[in-house]
Amino acid sequence: MKYSLGRRAKLTCCGEQVEMTMRTESIMGNLEPALHTVTLVFSQCHPNVDLDLLPDPAGEEPTNRFLQALVQILLTHVNSTFDRTSKVLDFHHPHQLKEGLEGFSLELPDRPENLEQLLVDCRDTLKYGVKTGHPRFFNQLSSGLDIIGMAGEWLTSAANTNIFTFEISPVFILMEEVLLKKLREKVGWPPVEGDGVFCPGGSMSNLYSILLARYSYFPEVKMHGMAVIPRLALFTSEHVIPDILVAELPQTDRLPGRLCKCSHYSIRKAAGVLGIGIENVFLCVKLTPQTLLCSSQGLVPFYINATAGTTVYGAFDPLNEIAEICERHGLWMHVDAAWGGGLLMSRKHAGKLQGIERASSVTWNPHKMMGVPLQCSVILMRQKGLLQDCNQLCAEYLFQPDKHYDVAYDTGDKSIQCGRHVDVFKLWLMWKAKGSEGFGSQVNQCLENADYLFNKLENRADFELVFKNKPEHSNVCFWYIPHSLRKMSRGLEWNKKLHEVAPKIKTKMMEEGMVMVGYQPLGEKPNFFRCVFSNPATTREDVDFLVDEITRLGQDL
Amino acid sequence: MKYSLGRRAKLTCCGEQVEMTMRTESIMGNLEPALHTVTLVFSQCHPNVDLDLLPDPAGEEPTNRFLQALVQILLTHVNSTFDRTSKVLDFHHPHQLKEGLEGFSLELPDRPENLEQLLVDCRDTLKYGVKTGHPRFFNQLSSGLDIIGMAGEWLTSAANTNIFTFEISPVFILMEEVLLKKLREKVGWPPVEGDGVFCPGGSMSNLYSILLARYSYFPEVKMHGMAVIPRLALFTSEHVIPDILVAELPQTDRLPGRLCKCSHYSIRKAAGVLGIGIENVFLCVKLTPQTLLCSSQGLVPFYINATAGTTVYGAFDPLNEIAEICERHGLWMHVDAAWGGGLLMSRKHAGKLQGIERASSVTWNPHKMMGVPLQCSVILMRQKGLLQDCNQLCAEYLFQPDKHYDVAYDTGDKSIQCGRHVDVFKLWLMWKAKGSEGFGSQVNQCLENADYLFNKLENRADFELVFKNKPEHSNVCFWYIPHSLRKMSRGLEWNKKLHEVAPKIKTKMMEEGMVMVGYQPLGEKPNFFRCVFSNPATTREDVDFLVDEITRLGQDL
């Protein structure tokens, strides 16, 4: 349906008839003329829009029309997100955006601006942003724009409540319960037991896991603090490529903190926050000797984080082996499956997480591999009641025990955040829309794209894979080797030059804006590209496009 | 514009013409027939909706129509939220909702459900929820449904990005900077200095403040943990009504943790999480002797939380007095202005926070008094750089230093969450719509409603105010005294009976669903109602309605 210029209609606005050049049907059509007309009507009648919207007694019509105009802008954005001829981003430097591009001012006024300006601001905000749902956005673990998920977020904000008590969030509290149970089932735990809570991101979920583990071994820490418990050591494994890192490890000394640079960021951050100290996070290669070493130095090991799907390589730890170590030494086993958890939805790939059912806690971010809009992360626990015991303070002024309904559903005291944003509805609605099976197919498709890219690069002289093995997850790590380097003999100088290649290509890529992929160094390895697939919109043609673009942008390097 | 039954149109759906009984104009009209027709069209052609939406190559039209149908449901909800003849809630017990009401099933399927069912699920989710934006919802500090704020959330979810690096959030990162500067300006700090970050709720913001304070005095804690620093003590003041609590305090002993039950929940939670221990949170009445007491027992005081706007009473601590104590003893002064911060937007009421400019950190939740949709909370810091120093780990695999833009804008390493939900845009857009002045008027109006209620109850025999002084914030605390109690002599028995009045009235109130107000006990005081005003939709007539309803529901008690 297209906008028919010249068709006129009369619209009553503030009790007066206003002539519109737009039929209402055109709301389904092009943005610009529709937007122009709607805002024209508004700017004639509503110099101070905000006060004319609801709750103003005459606010219903202006509110509906304003939101319809906004939805037009959003639909245009959504449609162009999936349009391959449209850019992924329209890059500008921070100072350019701050100076105000084409009238787009970030500064905040004392006096209200009118509706027309607000809609233009909305359009500009999207224009200068990054289309993370674009089929050629390969930059982050979270990508894609799931329509049902977005619809879920729209409803969540219209409901505008806090998942704190059953009293103010009856439906969402129950949805959280249903989802937690379903996710625990996928982990492989008996679904009736167990616990969990949706968290603001995977780092917080991991923090919860350490907090819970510490409380489980040393419940006195809650009341009396770290001063009354032994010094703790915890172990993690992110990015562990045993053959590299074992060589780096001093075998006889206690591992200095700096060696933990490869362990996941969030485990170290949490150790800092919780008062355990970053240096007490150890790599968990050669675990048993280290465990003993810690004990002999007065550190008490209590927790191992195994990673199911590392951020850069997409690697999976051998969960059963780690589970055995944990069981033997009485340690808490946490699995950070923020990225890898999605694979549990696929019959084909769930086996990569074998052993996860032996964990005491699991982090899983549906906003990554399952494509749920940001944020949606969960910490799951095998043991029921621990989360409540660890965090509750029973403040009667927040949680009244004498309510007329079953107050076991007032879950706010389980969390450290007290009130929480409702992150469950979008996932619940997507699950209804796709079914478990739909999530499974989506995951399979992403991993097929990774396979396709891996196979393609394997046979190219101008690319080199960081690992020769097939990717376990959807991460494919590779270098582009420009002409000038292909003839050079390898060594320090070569590495140094190669290190500069990815940033140079990335710069051009962002300036042109047709595709986005991330890069980073890791350990001794110079900067390499990491391509990840989590967007169901991506096809093989998009993978081809990425490879062609890198080749084109890097040809003169 | 109303739905015109009988008007027919032809719509192309999946290449076939489908007859519709609805004109597109009717999207602006009644929900039910429009919803019915749209979903009818869909269910004929799209048994598996999700796969037909974008990114399906033919997904643009179905996507637009699906979202339009969803928006109809949301608009109906928005309009009924402000309709006083519509209920605030349609109460059902947890077991009723779980059993499935009129086909509303919370259970998650293996196979996809169709669009029709999804839209019905959306409608039911809203139907069985609570209208927190209703003018007669007085239950929480966060209330209201700001249209512009909700529009901001819709855009945020369409943008679906993470406020992590400038690379993927260029506009939002800059908006956060602008907002932080503006809020610091309102606190009264030199705007060019200082720092801050938007957090997932006020409890997290308060946790940040303690984390920062601890790091500021003992930076070694980050690397080595609590074992290498002294045992810490911190002070807080929530709900302190000196004449009651001073009496409760044992003057010679170290204060046991249980006496802290009146201090704010989030400070105690954070002390537990950070490894300081809940028992080391002290009430800050008679501060100086306690401070000395702590020192003599090997506890080092380092932090005072002053509250600007307590949760129940809406009381303000004497910030200048506390600032003097902090300056004298070299303590970190934090102001929890989660609830009271909004008053800084009002010329009339900002003076209640005098002395806040002497704080080292401030928590401020725009999702409370400023009516921003949930969540929107900020921790502000006077000192620049501390947040970064305290939290950064410089993981190169997340934050590449060799990017082509100014990487000072990659702010993810300042936070403990790593990636964060974008909570800034809705506040930014509302600020554009209202201007600072608009927020000011909104705050004034809420406090005028509180005044009106206070004055009204002052002259009633069937109500009793918990405090005789005019409310400082918009909290009004009161008992309803039923007939049977008015004649009884006061004492333990009277208190016991009074304690049961509020829960009984609240039960009936929720079952009837026309109004909602909270109650709680506090200290020795039996259950009392706490009415709070943060919704600009509320008028004096709504206040009258609340009082009449309580009288009606309580008349036979």
Contact at CB, A522 and B396, closer than 8 angstroms:
yes
Rounded to an integer, the average pLDDT of A220-229 is 97
What is the DSSP secondary-structure string of B412-439?
A: GGGSSSSS----SHHHHHHHHHHHHHHH
Dihedral of CA atoms A550, A553, A555, A556 in degrees, nearest 10, equals -150
Q: Tell me whether residues B122 and A435 touch, CB distance under 8 A.
A: no
* pLDDT the model gives residue A418: 87
Round to whole Å and give the CA distance between B378 and B393: 22
For the cut 60, the answer to whether the pLDDT of residue B48 exceeds it is: no
B8: pLDDT strictly greater than 70: no
pLDDT at A457 > cutoff 50 = yes
Encode pLDDT of A363-380 as tens digits.
Answer: 999 999 999 999 999 999
Q: What is the pLDDT of residue A396?
A: 81
Crossing angle of helices A540-554 and A424-458, in 10° steps, is 60
Asked whether A475 and A459 are in contact (CB, 8 A), the reply is no
DSSP state of A119: H
Q: What is the pLDDT of residue B248?
A: 34
What pairs with residue A165 in β-bridges? A163
**Which pLDDT score, from 0 to 100, does residue B1 have?**
24
Q: For residue range A529-546, what is the model confidence (pLDDT) as tens digits?
A: 999 999 999 999 999 999
Chain segment B321-377, per-residue pLDDT in tens: 999 989 998 999 999 999 999 999 999 999 999 999 999 999 999 999 999 999 999
Prior bond to B94 cis, omega within 30?
A: no
Domain B172-385: give its CATH code.
Answer: 3.40.640.10
Asked if the model's pLDDT at residue B499 lies above 60, the reply is yes
- Confidence at A40, pLDDT banded by 50, 70, 90: very low
Contact A182 B122 (CB under 8 A): no
- Whether A182 and A190 have beta carbons less than 8 Å apart is answered as no
Does A169 sit within 8 Å of B126, measured CB to CB? Answer: no
Sign of the CA dihedral running B529, B534, B539, B542: negative
Q: How far is CA A353 from the centre of its chain?
A: 20
List Cα–Cα distances, B431 to A103, A109, A295, B131, in angstroms.
Answer: 17, 7, 56, 24
CB-CB neighbors (< 8 A) of A110 in chain B: 435-437
- Determine what percent of chain B is predicted with pLDDT higher than 70: 84
Helix (H, G, I), strand (E, B) or coil at B522: strand
Contact B207 A438 (CB under 8 A): no
Mutate which of B99, B147, B498 to test chain A, going by most A C-beta atoms within 10 A? B147
Handedness of CA A187, A189, A190, A193 (dihedral sign): negative
pLDDT at A137 over 50: yes
Distances (CA, A) of B418 to A101, A281, B160, B164, B378: 29, 18, 16, 7, 16
Q: What is the pLDDT of residue A298?
A: 87
Residue of chain B with shortest Cα separation from A274: B274
Which residue among A142, A157, A416 sits closest to B373, beta carbon to beta carbon?
Answer: A157
- C-beta separation of B277 from A227 below 8 A: yes
Q: Which residues of chain B lie closer than 8 angstroms to A506, CB-CB?
A: 403-404
What CATH number does the domain located at A436-554 have? Answer: 3.90.1150.170
Domain with CATH 3.40.640.10 in chain A: 193-384
Q: For the segment A256-299, what is each residue's pLDDT rounded down to a tens digit?
A: 332 333 446 899 999 999 999 999 998 766 555 566 567 778 89
H-run or E-run covering A293? helix A287-296
Q: What is the mean pLDDT of chain A?
A: 87
- For residue A26, is pLDDT > 80? no
Q: Average pLDDT for residues B222-250, to the nearest whole number?
A: 69
Burial of A406 (0-12, 13-18, 19+ CB in 10 A): exposed
* ipTM attached to this prediction: 0.90
For A299, nearest residue in chain B (alpha carbons): B227
CATH topology for A193-384 is Aspartate Aminotransferase; domain 2 (3.40.640)
**Identity of the residue in A89, A92, A400 whose CB atom sits nearest the CB atom of B519:** A400
pLDDT band at B289 (very low <50, low <70, confident <90, very high): low
Minimum Cα–Cα distance from A137: chain B residue = B168
Percent of chain B whose pLDDT exceeds 90 = 77
Mean pLDDT of B266-277: 96
CATH level 2 (architecture), domain B435-554: Alpha-Beta Complex (3.90)
Distance of CA B533 to the CA centre of its chain: 13
pLDDT band of residue A154 (cuts 50, 70, 90) is: very high
Q: Higher confidence at residue A419 or residue A27?
A: A419
Q: Which residues of B touch A113 (CB under 8 A)?
A: 432-433, 435
**What does DSSP say about strands A332-336 and A299-307: parallel, antiparallel, or unpaired?**
parallel
Give the pLDDT mean for A436-450: 98
Residue B27 has pLDDT above 70, yes or no: no
What's the pLDDT band for B264 if we cut at 50, 70, 90?
low
In angstroms, the separation between the Cα of residue A151 and the nearest Cα of chain B is: 7
Q: How far off is chain A from B67, nearest CA to CA, in Å?
A: 7
A35 with A75: CB under 8 angstroms? no
B95, B403, B429 member nearest A118 (Cβ)? B429
B10/chain A closest Cα distance in angstroms:
11
Q: Which segment of A163-177, B148-162, B391-405, B530-544 scores lowest on mean pLDDT? A: B391-405
To the nearest whole Å, the CA of A289 is away from the closest chain B CA by 22
Q: What is the pLDDT of residue A479?
A: 98
Q: Could you identify the residue written with the tokens 């679904």?
A: A191
**Angle CA(A510)–CA(A516)–CA(A519) in degrees, nearest 5?**
95
> Range(s) for CATH 3.90.1150.170 in chain A?
436-554
Residue recorded with tokens 């802008």? A73
- Residue A531, token pair as written in the block: 């391509």
